[in-house]
Amino acid sequence: MCGIIGYSGSRNARTVVLDGLKTLEYRGYDSAGAAFSAEDITVFKTGGRVSDLEKITPNIVAHAGIGHTRWATHGAPSAKNAHPHLSFDGRFAVVHNGVITNCDELKLSLIRRGIRFVSDTDSEIIAHLLSLEYDGDMVSTIDKVSSLLRGATTFIALKKGDERVYMHRNGASLVVGKGDGECIVASDALAITPYTSDVAVLCDGETAIMNATDVKFFKNGKQLDKPFGKTDRTAPKDCSCHMRAEIDEIPSALLNAYAEISRSITPAVSDMVRNAKRTIFFGCGTAYHAGLYGKIIFERVGVPSNAVIASEIDDERFIDENCLCVFITQSGETADTLIALAECKARGARTLAITNVKESTVTFEADETVFIGAGAEIAVAATKSYVCQLLALYMLSQERTEKRMGKSEIQALANAAKVVSKENLYAPEYKDFNPFFIGKGIDNVTAKEGALKFKEITCKFADAYGAGELKHGSIALIDEKSVAYVVSTNEHDEERVRATVRELQSRGAYVFAVTNSNRLGANKTLMLPKIYDENLYPVLSVIPLQNLALTASLCLGLDPDKPRNLAKSVTVI
C-alpha cells in the first residue's frame, strides 16, 4: 500500500528521492518522509503529502537516501508515524511496505529489553531489530531480522556513515534499477525509469545491497546471479487530473491492449482456456467486477464458471486440477489475490494471471500471464485498466470458439469508445440526490462498477441493484430525492428493464439510461454506438459512469486522483 524508494549515486539524493515519491504517491498519501545518509542520518517527516515534505526538506547534499509515502495501517497519519523510522541508537533508518503480523509480541519483547518506541507503527520494530542484531555483516543481519518477522515485511534501510542502500523483499514488490554511476530501488519501476530502463525484480526472501555502481543479490546468505532486463514502464506526464487523462486515453489503451493481449495469448495460454472444464475468476474491487464479466462471457461459450472475491477463497470449495483459476490484478501485487493464487496452486489448479505490470509478483507466481498493456495508471480509481481487463477476458473467451476479434473490430470498438468518452451523465441539479445504479445480467456488472467508482471518489454512498430484484425490497429507498442510472444493452432484457424504469419513475426517481435502445422511457437517454458483438457493450457503457463519478468528485471539491482512505496498490491484507 505504500511507496518506498532508495537511491545511491552521483546525483543529489534529495532530488531523486522526492521526485520518486511524487511518482509513487498513488500508492499512499496520508504522510511522507525521507532520510539521507552522509556522516549521520538526517530524517524529515510530515503528516501531509509529498509536496509538504518537499517544503520542509532543505537542499541537503547527500548521495544516498530513502523515502516513503504512506497508507496508514498501524497508527494514525501523522509526522511521528511517518517513515523513515530510526533505530534507538540512530544507526539505522528504515522504510517499510507491508504489515508485521506478529508486531505485538515483537514490540513487547523489545520494550522488555529497554527499547522506547516513538511511533505507533509496526515498522519501527525493523529499525530496532537491525541495530540489536547487527553483527558486522549486513546480509546475515537482515537474514536474522527477517526470520523474526511475519507478514508482509519488505523494507529498505540506510546505515549511519554508509552510502550503500540495503533492502529485503517479503510480500511487497521491489524493483532495482542500475544506471550510469547510480542505482535506485522502488516499489514500482515508474520511479526508476526516468534514470534507467535496466531493472531486476527481487523475489520474496531476497536481499540486496546497492551502491552507486553495483547491486549484489542474496538469498539465505548466498549470493545470487540475478540478470537485469529492460522495462517498458514509463511514468505519465504531469497533469492536473490523472483520472481525466486516463479516461481520455481509453480508446488508445484499447488498441494497445489488443496488441499486447494478442501477443500474450500464447499456445500454452490458449490450451489452458480450451481444456478448462471449469473456470474461476478471482479479483478485488474493480478487478472482481471484471471477474463477474468473465464468468458471464465464459459461460456463454460453454464453460461453467464462477467469480470470487479473492479474500473469500476459503468459501470456494470446488478447486482442483480440472479448474482454470484466473487472477485479475492491475498492479500484480494485490495481497489478497496473491494469497488466493497460492491456495489454488496448492489444490492443483492451473493458474492464469491478467495484469498491467510485467515486473509484478503475479507474473512470477502464475503458470501463465496475459498482459493488458493499458499503460501506467496513476489515479486510484481504475478506468482504462478496467476496460482493458474486460477486453482481455473477451479475447480469452474467444479461444473456445472459432471466431476471433480482428483489427477492424478493435478499431471500431476504440472509435466507439472515443465517442462515448465525451459523454457525461452528471447534472448539477441532482448533486444532492441519492444515486442508484441498476442493470440486468451483464449490465448489472457495469452498474456495480459504476457504483464503486462513485463511492470511491465522491465519498458518498451508492449501490447497485439488479433490475428485476429492485422491487423485492430496495425500492423502499426510492423517493423524489433519488436519481437512477440504468444500464441496458441487451435486447432480450429490454422489456424487464423498461418495467423497472416505470417503477422508479412512479416513486419519484429521475432516471438516466445508458443504452443502445431508445425505448426504455427514461427521463434522459445516452445512446451507445452500435458495435459488432453485444458482449463488448460493458467496455463502452462503463465509460459515462466513470465520467459521472469524476465530475461529481470535482464538483464536490475533492481530489479524484487521491480519494480518502484509498491507495492504488493494495499490498496488505
What 3-state DSSP class applies to 294? helix
SS3 content of the chain, % helix, strand, coil (to 5): 40, 25, 40
What is the rounded CA–CA span in Å between residue 377 and residue 385?
Answer: 7
Please give the Cα distance from 476 to 467 (Å, whole number).
14
The answer to whether residues 517 and 494 touch, using CB atoms and an 8 Å cutoff, is yes
| DSSP code per residue over 441-456 | THHHHHHHHHHHHHHH
Pairing, β 3-9 against β 368-371: unpaired
**Set 2, 103, 323, 325: catalytic member:** 2
Contacts of 286 (CB under 8 A, 6+ apart): 330, 381, 382, 385, 386, 449, 452
Grid cell for residue 73: 495501517
Quote the cell numbers at residue 257: 491492449
Of 178, 384, 562, 568, the catalytic one is 568
Q: What are 402-406's contacts with CB under 8 Å, separation 24+?
A: 405/258
Report how far residue 27's alpha carbon sits from residue 190's, in angstroms, rounded to the nearest whole number.
12
- The grid coordinates of residue 148 equal 523474526
Cell numbers found for residue 167: 533492502
Distance, in Å, from the CA atom of 366 to the CA atom of 342, rounded to the nearest integer, reads 9
Any catalytic annotation for residue 459? no
Q: How far apart are CA 40 and CA 31, in angstroms?
A: 23
Task: Say whether 2 is catalytic.
Answer: yes
Separation of alpha carbons 441 and 489, rounded Å: 10
* Cα 4 to Cα 126: distance, rounded to the nearest angstrom: 15
Question: Which positions are catalytic?
Answer: 2, 568
